[in-house]
Chains A and B, each alone.
Chain A
């Protein structure tokens, strides 16, 4: 079984994000970047499936600037077998990513696609679902457990009311939630091995995908600074303030 894992280069979760001075976008200059935490969980799940003997090959894909190869190398150090880098400097929206992945799926014919449920930079939570629609593959989103057997994958989903398990025919798409697994650390020997694993590059053009943006980004600004809390004398005042000042009830 072949697994395709999508990994995204995002701002490291420890970094305090700042907008550019002109508010045109987030400031990425000299900012530490890392693999999106949900994508790391996706890689870990794929590696566990391979270790269990269920999967035979893991292909890690990243779409983004030249430096996104660092995140592919991270995935390779964690256990992926080879990488594909789709190089582009465009601001990739979920639909463009989904289309790119579709084009790669046509080439690679994976049995399972595992990706994060969202990326911590844009928080869209759309790409997996769009990819499902574009490819007509079944999807199991927000996975907290994944079991593959007999050409099917059972995905336990974290939904509002609790857990829901769906069974999908392969090939299928799974998007990961936080509790699916705890990703391992890379190891130094594997970091060195990762340098020697194959990494192919291509571009959206070569794959025949348009990266044209559908959404205009108007402005990026910091949320208003939080005001200090106050103490209220009694419940009535609290209710009154919630109603009339905060206007939340």
Chain B
């Protein structure tokens, strides 16, 4: 049983709130039912707990080393990977014909969440491999697919994503890596990639890099970027890893967290020739990359949730066992100390974490289910859902990586001095999670994406959908006695957000710099409204469940209702201050002269 994610909560979200069982009525998933979903999650629990979790602290302490020739990673990582791969998790989402289990994304991601809460930095190699394989599946030629895909699905080869360069992170338009076409149809690559996760390791037989580069003469900016498959070892006629390709490790980056995942500076074509193969068409590289963007941004958000969740579980356990102090009003110095969970302020810290991590978990699973619905659901709705998903993409990436990171900070605070030591996992979880606001588009970039593009796309249709879906939930909650207080707060919040959104979008046509100057503030307020909505959905389900519940179940549902109340009383009201600032088109930051800092 997972000790880093509450399985009761996961089951609640999957079966009682999202009703994933309805997916089994669709042709694609008709072989499944709750028993197979449960079996997948049970298995994930078991392997995560036995193979991934015990390694997490060690891996953090003994980060991979580069001796100038080879990278050395703790052997336990390979062992954990083998268990994961042999159990079939690498291909859980892949179709039956291709040797997979044909699971809906919602369920395969839920299983993934269990692993990442246990040890995200050991898991990252496998997640990257899956993404690279999915990309190959969609954009690779038949020949490339035939040669590489089965080995990536079977975990014999791993994969990476090579986008960033030392001078081009947020802004990929400026990448310089070059790909020169050869007579045989392949390309030669030259350049340097920075921050590449899993760029070198001693676990898999071969590494398949997905590399963004520019072909000479290509248009400037993002329109001139192409995608290439670049193996560490080129394959011989029999498909075996043979000659070394010219991808070289310059060095490892020494990171604050996520230390089990190597992070590399790679040179391409510096010494030996570096052969690459085009994926998709020339100059359509970003399109290929971003085809998978929704799923990869959900994954980052989910990763952030799981780290926050693990911290919450740990601090909760600690608070139940740590005696300290007496309650206000207790004057007898001989009375026993109470466990800290009895103190109101500690409860606040726990409830805040609970509201963030359980809210975040639902947000990520909700988006997974959207992806499943877009793929198989009611045809009339698919287009709407796709537009809605695009709108939520910056939220599902940024909100958990901001707020579940806050949860990690609170977990440290709950443990007091112990939380600040490396004897407890909460500081590591914080360090691991600190990456998530940075990679896969910084949260600053997500704010720009939301306010500068997403809310305005399709004449604001995505936003109109949001209003429609929220109003449906508001109407339901208004008729549900204990929840109508929240329905009203949400209605009020939504009206305020809509007014601000309208104001900012019209201001943008006059002065885009001023209108987007506070886009991160907008992102936070928007995210809080979305999560408040989703807490109300959770509360509606909990309220239904509570009617017939007993014992532990009763406590569980009451906990959900309390977390919802916390979110509405402590969190949601904060947006009104943020929206007021946005409404004024505040230029304090925008017009701060550089010299005055």
Residues of A within 8 A of B (CB): 12, 14-15, 27, 29-30, 32, 70, 73-74, 77, 185-189, 191-192, 195
Q: Which of B90-143 contact A (CB under 8 A)?
A: 91-92, 99, 101, 103
A73 to B33, CA, bound (A): 13
Question: Chain A contacts of B101 at CB under 8 A?
Answer: 188-189, 191-192
Report whether A188 and B551 are in contact in the complex, using a CB–CB cutoff of 8 Å: no
Q: Which residue of B lies closest to A184 (CB)?
A: B86
Report whether A185 and B552 are in contact in the complex, using a CB–CB cutoff of 8 Å: no
Question: Chain B contacts of A77 at CB under 8 A?
Answer: 39
Question: Chain B contacts of A74 at CB under 8 A?
Answer: 39
Report which of A15, A30, A70 forms a contact with B1, defined as CB distance below 8 A.
A15
Report whether A187 and B39 are in contact in the complex, using a CB–CB cutoff of 8 Å: no
A186 to B36, CA, bound (A): 12
Question: Chain A contacts of B22 at CB under 8 A?
Answer: none
Residues of B within 8 A of A (CB): 1, 7, 31, 35-36, 39-40, 43, 46-47, 83, 86-89, 91-92, 99, 101, 103, 550-553
Q: Which residue of A lies closest to B51 (CB)?
A: A185
Report whether A188 and B553 are in contact in the complex, using a CB–CB cutoff of 8 Å: no
Please give me the 4 A-B residue pairs with the lowest Cβ-Cβ distance, nearest first: A188-B88, A188-B101, A14-B1, A191-B39
A26 to B470, CA, bound (A): 44
Report whether A32 and B1 are in contact in the complex, using a CB–CB cutoff of 8 Å: yes
Report which of B1, B43, B87, B552 forms a contact with A12, defined as CB distance below 8 A.
B1
In addition to A32-B1, A187-B86, 12 A-B residue pairs with Cβ atoms within 8 Å of each other are A12-B1, A30-B553, A77-B39, A185-B86, A186-B43, A188-B87, A188-B101, A189-B99, A191-B36, A191-B40, A191-B101, A195-B31
Report whether A187 and B88 are in contact in the complex, using a CB–CB cutoff of 8 Å: yes
Report which of B1, B35, B36, B83 forms a contact with A185, defined as CB distance below 8 A.
B83
Question: Chain B contacts of A191 at CB under 8 A?
Answer: 36, 39-40, 43, 101
Q: Which residue of A lies closest to B92 (CB)?
A: A188
Min CB–CB distance A18 → chain B (angstroms): 9
Min CB–CB distance B557 → chain A (angstroms): 12
Report whether A73 and B47 are in contact in the complex, using a CB–CB cutoff of 8 Å: no
A77 to B39, CA, bound (A): 10
- A selection of 13 A-B contacts at a CB cut-off of 8 Å is A30-B553, A32-B1, A32-B7, A185-B43, A185-B47, A186-B87, A187-B88, A188-B89, A188-B92, A188-B103, A189-B88, A191-B43, A192-B101
Question: Chain A contacts of B40 at CB under 8 A?
Answer: 188, 191
Report whether A195 and B86 are in contact in the complex, using a CB–CB cutoff of 8 Å: no
Question: Chain A contacts of B1 at CB under 8 A?
Answer: 12, 14-15, 32
Interface SS of B by simple majority: helix
A74 to B7, CA, bound (A): 19
Report which of A15, A29, A32, A70 forms a contact with B550, defined as CB distance below 8 A.
A29
A189 to B259, CA, bound (A): 32
Question: Chain A contacts of B87 at CB under 8 A?
Answer: 185-188
Min CB–CB distance A153 → chain B (angstroms): 29
Question: Chain B contacts of A188 at CB under 8 A?
Answer: 40, 43, 87-89, 91-92, 101, 103
A12 to B42, CA, bound (A): 11
Question: Chain B contacts of A192 at CB under 8 A?
Answer: 31, 36, 101
Q: Assuming A188-B88, A191-B43, is B553 touching A73 (CB within 8 A)?
A: no
Question: Chain A contacts of B91 at CB under 8 A?
Answer: 188
A187 to B32, CA, bound (A): 15
A188 to B94, CA, bound (A): 12
Q: Which residue of A lies closest to B2 (CB)?
A: A14
Question: Chain A contacts of B43 at CB under 8 A?
Answer: 185-186, 188, 191
Report whether A73 and B551 are in contact in the complex, using a CB–CB cutoff of 8 Å: no
Report whether B35 and A73 are in contact in the complex, using a CB–CB cutoff of 8 Å: yes
Q: Which residue of A lies closest to B549 (CB)?
A: A30
Q: Which residue of B lies closest to A189 (CB)?
A: B88
A224 to B7, CA, bound (A): 30
A128 to B92, CA, bound (A): 39
Report which of A30, A73, A187 forms a contact with B552, defined as CB distance below 8 A.
A30
Min CB–CB distance B548 → chain A (angstroms): 12
A189 to B551, CA, bound (A): 36
Report whether A30 and B88 are in contact in the complex, using a CB–CB cutoff of 8 Å: no
Question: Chain A contacts of B47 at CB under 8 A?
Answer: 185
A141 to B596, CA, bound (A): 83
Q: Which residue of B lies closest to A194 (CB)?
A: B39
Question: Chain B contacts of A27 at CB under 8 A?
Answer: 551
Q: Which residue of B lies closest to A191 (CB)?
A: B39
Q: Which residue of B lies closest to A185 (CB)?
A: B87
Question: Chain B contacts of A29 at CB under 8 A?
Answer: 550-552
Question: Chain A contacts of B7 at CB under 8 A?
Answer: 32
Min CB–CB distance A62 → chain B (angstroms): 15
A70 to B43, CA, bound (A): 13
Report whether B552 and A195 are in contact in the complex, using a CB–CB cutoff of 8 Å: no
Question: Chain A contacts of B89 at CB under 8 A?
Answer: 188
Report whether B35 and A70 are in contact in the complex, using a CB–CB cutoff of 8 Å: yes
Min CB–CB distance A53 → chain B (angstroms): 22
Question: Chain B contacts of A15 at CB under 8 A?
Answer: 1
Question: Chain A contacts of B46 at CB under 8 A?
Answer: 185
Q: Which residue of B lies closest to A186 (CB)?
A: B43
A70 to B35, CA, bound (A): 8
Q: Which residue of B lies closest to A195 (CB)?
A: B36
Which of the listed residues A73, A77, A185 has the most CB atoms from chain B within 10 Å of its own CB?
A: A185
Q: Which residue of A lies closest to B86 (CB)?
A: A187
Report whether A195 and B35 are in contact in the complex, using a CB–CB cutoff of 8 Å: yes
Min CB–CB distance A7 → chain B (angstroms): 15
Question: Chain A contacts of B92 at CB under 8 A?
Answer: 188
Which of the listed residues B35, B39, B88, B553 has the most CB atoms from chain A within 10 Å of its own CB?
A: B39
Q: Which residue of B lies closest to A73 (CB)?
A: B35
Which of the listed residues A32, A77, A187, A191 has the most CB atoms from chain B within 10 Å of its own CB?
A: A191
Min CB–CB distance B439 → chain A (angstroms): 29
Q: Which residue of A lies closest to B551 (CB)?
A: A29
